[in-house]
Structure 1
Amino acid sequence: MRQYTASDFSGFYYAHRGLYDNHHGVPENSLPAFRAAVEKGYGVELDVQLSADGQVVVFHDDTLDRICGVHGKVIDYPLSDLQQMKLLDTEETLPLFTDVLAVLRQGAGPLIVELKTGPRNTELCEKTRELLRSYPGVFCIESFDPRIVLWFRKNAPEIFRGQLSQPREDYGTSLPALYSRLLADCRFSFLNKPDFIAYKIGARPARVLRKRGKGVLLVGWTSHDAVADSKDNDSVIFEYCAPPLRYKKT
């Protein structure tokens, strides 16, 4: 497996969950959304998690309610059930990660794979790593969960890895206040040593900006004005706009 560097990922625009349009029949994280991104040549960001029977599927939300109108989590259902569920009342269903990779290998730019945290993190990490080994394109991984990023540092250090984060208030009340502050400031980076930090667009903690000054890439998400947001980021994850394929940082 080739070991990638910052130059393989910086200056790109990444289509968030594919080049989707939830209002016009192209659901997020669906095969048509990824085909549309490939047709344009954009980089792609997507999300993976496990089904009950251990299949790696592409889906973002913690629950199926918003996208599929079904109560419960992805990990509560086997693949056979998940693939009967429709995405946003279209004919599209939850895709396997392998099916998405087959689409992306036809010409997408760099790939960012977000691993969603859950009760079987190690299994998800192991299976995602193995599936990516045969992918011929440029790819990296990221997660909000610093333990997942740490797993890749220890078990697949050759894979470019990123820590996802956001302001403390955006974590809500589901996490203890202290833990939210630590996550917002990327305080666990001394353990998992991310190659990039993907931070919600807006004000960033001084500690994150200092890390950028030391060579850690800063990726902004999720932009609706990608060209404007490129000024403050090394790469940009976008939706509902049409930036060029790349930009030159000043």
Structure 2
Amino acid sequence: MSALPDAFRRLPLAHRGLHDLTQGRPENSRAGLTAAIAAGYGIEIDLQLSRDNQAMVFHDYDLGRLTAAKGPIRQRDAADLAQIPLLGGDEGIPDLPEILSLVGGRVPLLIELKDQHGQMGESCGTLEAATAAALTHYDGPVAVMSFNPHMVARMLTRAPDIPRGIVTCAYTAKDWPLLPEAIRTRLRDIPDYDATRACFVSHDIADLDRARLDALRSDGSTLLCWTVRSPQAEAEARKRADNITFEGYLPDFPA
């Protein structure tokens, strides 16, 4: 099992970069990542797949919230996506190799692979392959994670030396209305942690008192949490979590 570098416990992680639309820094933008690096924070980013099977740094499945375009990101080629401006900024959607070059190992980079089929089932492996290929020669502190444990398992096969984690939460019916109850019940207990040879979980801040998390930490797992939006919430989260993913304020660096 690959160990999570210490920097992932030491430096707060800027959620989708240090984004701030009032400063011209959209989510998952070069500007937001550059600002996080300048401030000394770690970075969390998201990956979606383009039509030509490139790993694109973008959170949503649809372009509509974050750009003036409409429709699934999966129906556009990478070159086309690069020309679609992010709302609130002056840049297009970047791909993973470009972002790896921009970060250049200066701060820890936490990469979330978004589930591509909506049901947390078996993956075709295309996004995992693109991610692994981009990371082949990357030397900086980096880790990958996904809500979908099948994708984490594929990253174990594709890039066994890259630390892996599972994104987790309470899987309530309210938050996951399209996910069958049986799947929600199963994933809630994080049953795939050992099989994927994960070394961390990134868990919802609203559910940190779960006994399963205490057990994982007792066995040596690192517990990250998302998404922290105030110093008060951070103080509570740090009573249980080893580190935070944050947005909307600037956290101090732990002593």
Q: TM-score if structure 1 supplies the norm length?
A: 0.90
Q: Is the 8 A contact 1:50 1:74 kept in 2?
A: yes
Task: Establish whether residue 230 from structure 1 lines up as the match of residue 238 from structure 2.
Answer: yes
Task: Establish whether residue 156 from structure 1 lines up as the match of residue 163 from structure 2.
Answer: no
Find the counterpart in structure 1 of residue 213 from structure 2: 208
Percent sequence identity over matched residues? 32
Cα deviation for residue 24 of structure 1 reads 3.6
Aligned counterpart in structure 2 of residue 193 of structure 1, from 187, 197, 213? 197
Task: Establish whether residue 179 from structure 1 lines up as the match of residue 183 from structure 2.
Answer: yes
SS at match of 1:80: helix
Task: Establish whether residue 118 from structure 1 lines up as the match of residue 116 from structure 2.
Answer: yes
- Change in CA separation of 1:200 and 1:176 when aligned onto 2, cut-off 3 Å: same
**Distance (Å, rounded) in 1 between the aligned partners of 2:131 and 2:158:** 12
**Distance (Å, rounded) in 2 between the aligned partners of 1:178 and 1:103:** 41
Aligned counterpart in structure 2 of residue 127 of structure 1, from 125, 130, 139? 130
Structure 2: 5+ residue stretches without partners: 118-122
Cα deviation for residue 4 of structure 1 reads 4.2
Query: Once the two structures are superposed, what CA deviation does each residue of 1:208-233 show, in whole Å capped at 9, x if it has no partner?
Result: 22111111111011111354133321
SS at match of 1:9: helix
- Change in CA separation of 1:171 and 1:241 when aligned onto 2, cut-off 3 Å: same
User: Which letter maps to 2:188?
Assistant: A
**Distance (Å, rounded) in 2 between the aligned partners of 1:39 and 1:12:** 13
- Change in CA separation of 1:83 and 1:8 when aligned onto 2, cut-off 3 Å: closer
Q: TM-score if structure 2 supplies the norm length?
A: 0.88
Cα deviation for residue 185 of structure 1 reads 2.2
Query: Once the two structures are superposed, what CA deviation does each residue of 1:60-118 show, in whole Å capped at 9, x if it has no partner?
Result: 012111111333211111123212322125322101212211211173x2110111121
User: Which letter maps to 1:65?
Assistant: G
**Distance (Å, rounded) in 2 between the aligned partners of 1:43 and 1:5:** 13
Query: Once the two structures are superposed, what CA deviation does each residue of 1:159-193 show, in whole Å capped at 9, x if it has no partner?
Result: 11100011121542111011012222212224223
SS at match of 1:197: strand
CA RMSD of aligned residues (A): 1.9
Aligned residues: 244
Cα deviation for residue 129 of structure 1 reads 1.3
Find the counterpart in structure 1 of residue 79 from structure 2: 80
Task: Establish whether residue 57 from structure 1 lines up as the match of residue 56 from structure 2.
Answer: yes
Query: Once the two structures are superposed, what CA deviation does each residue of 1:142-165 show, in whole Å capped at 9, x if it has no partner?
Result: 001100111122343221110001
- Change in CA separation of 1:17 and 1:121 when aligned onto 2, cut-off 3 Å: farther
Q: Is the 8 A contact 2:26 2:88 kept in 1?
A: no
Structure 1: 5+ residue stretches without partners: none
Find the counterpart in structure 1 of residue 120 from structure 2: none
User: Which letter maps to 2:191?
Assistant: R
- Change in CA separation of 1:139 and 1:10 when aligned onto 2, cut-off 3 Å: same
